[in-house]
Amino acid sequence: MLRRVLALVRKELAGLWKDPKTRMVLLIPPLIQVFLFAYAATYDVVHAPLAIWNEDAGAESAELVRRFDFSPAFRVIAAVQSPGQARALLDAKTAAAVLHLPQDFSADLLAHRTAQVQLLVDARRSNTALMLQGYAATIVATYAAERSGGRGQVTLQTRDWFNPTLESTWFILPGLVCVLSFMMALLVAALSLARERELGTFEQLLVTPLRPIEIMIGKAIPGVVVGMVDATLVTAAALLWFRLPFRGDPLLLGLMLVLYGLGGVGIGLVLSCLAKTQQQAMLGVFVVAAPLIVLSGFAAPIENMPKLVELLSRADPVRYMLVIARGLFLQDLPVAVVLAQAWPMALIALITLGGATVTVRRAVG
């Protein structure tokens, strides 16, 4: 029995190795994912974009600003002059936090009174917000100890925007709306043409009166519908069971999910065009989906990733939908910010769907 089992094992391994596509899937993607996970899936907060709202013109406030600027945890990106400018930077996720020094900061220090400093934090990512608060508190405490001989004349007040209670579910659930709907749309589309090939009906489909673009539309719509159904179910659970707030426009979220679903379907159809069997299509989904989720910022902040990895993430539709979903759930995200995230998703959908259509057209020819 052992010899028979070993003979079957050798046969299976030989079959895997002889197929060039399967061989590539087994060897290359694990190496790629090792580097992507190592560089992209980092929970360290470094060089967080910080805006400075300094209403004090004294040397004491300038010294505190310099300490934040020289800290590896923060990177000063802008100076704001009003609450509206601060809100705009936080809304667009251009800044992770805003440091506010009031007009009487230096005067209070010189008069040996307790000076107030305020940190406005984007708390949509609760873990990052907590870490930023800790870094800021350390910088302020060190400054106060050195400035006042340990008498603690500077106090830090923090205000968590968009998620005042720092609930982790407020951060996770909008992300799950994006990830789960994307996975289902990707899977349905990836199996569609591969199933036709495996069942021997792909050639029959090509000789029908359907044109290649009609085939693509017919294969794309089911994936988008399945993705929308899953997104609706997760959204309903988040709102009704977990009591997640929703402050944006539901219709706008629905339109963005349709556009987002087209991007996922486009990637799935490209995989389906390359795969000969459903097994290869499933492996392709696994190979593509894991890096896309890691690069999206679902778990680890994109701003912490190396520059090259951050550039790769710009081709990831999940990245843009995460900003839209979290923004519409936790705040009334401005339409201009939504559109800034929408056009890259539209471009990705156009390129992938166009590539799949060209592949089918060549098969017809």
Residue 73's nearest CA partner among 135, 122, 157 is 135
Residue 265's nearest CA partner among 362, 176, 339, 351 is 351
Given this model, what pLDDT does residue 352 score?
92
Which residues are within 8 A (CB) of 328 and not within 5 positions of it... i.e. 6 or more apart? 174, 246, 247, 248, 249, 252, 253, 338
CB 157: neighbour CB atoms within 10 A? 10
Q: Is 97 helix (H, G, I), strand (E, B) or coil?
A: strand
Report pTM.
0.74
Give the pLDDT of the chain (365 residues) as one tens digit per residue. 677 667 766 766 676 677 776 666 666 666 665 666 555 556 667 788 999 999 988 888 899 999 999 988 899 999 999 888 998 898 888 899 999 999 988 888 888 888 899 999 988 877 788 889 989 999 998 888 887 554 558 889 999 888 887 777 888 889 889 998 999 899 889 988 888 888 887 777 777 787 888 888 888 889 999 999 999 999 999 899 888 889 889 999 999 999 999 999 999 999 988 888 888 888 888 888 888 988 888 877 777 777 788 888 899 999 999 999 998 998 888 898 899 999 999 999 999 999 888 887 776 55
Asked whether the beta carbons of 319 and 309 are under 8 A apart, the reply is: no
The CA–CA distances, whole Å, from 15 to 2, 11, 21, 358, 361 equal 20, 6, 11, 31, 31
Asked whether the beta carbons of 153 and 113 are under 8 A apart, the reply is: yes
d(CA 46, CA 132) in angstroms, rounded, equals: 9
d(CA 344, CA 322) in angstroms, rounded, equals: 13
Helices (H), 74-201: 83-91, 105-110, 126-148, 168-199
Domains of the chain, by residue range, sit at 48-161, 168-364
d(CA 108, CA 45) in angstroms, rounded, equals: 32
Sort strands 97-101 and 74-79 into parallel, antiparallel or unpaired.
Answer: unpaired
Six token digits for residue 230:
């899953």
CATH number for domain 48-161, candidates 3.40.1710.10, 3.30.70.1400, 3.30.390.10, 3.30.1330.20: 3.40.1710.10
Given this model, what pLDDT does residue 33 score?
59
Asked whether the beta carbons of 352 and 263 are under 8 A apart, the reply is: yes
Given this model, what pLDDT does residue 50 score?
93
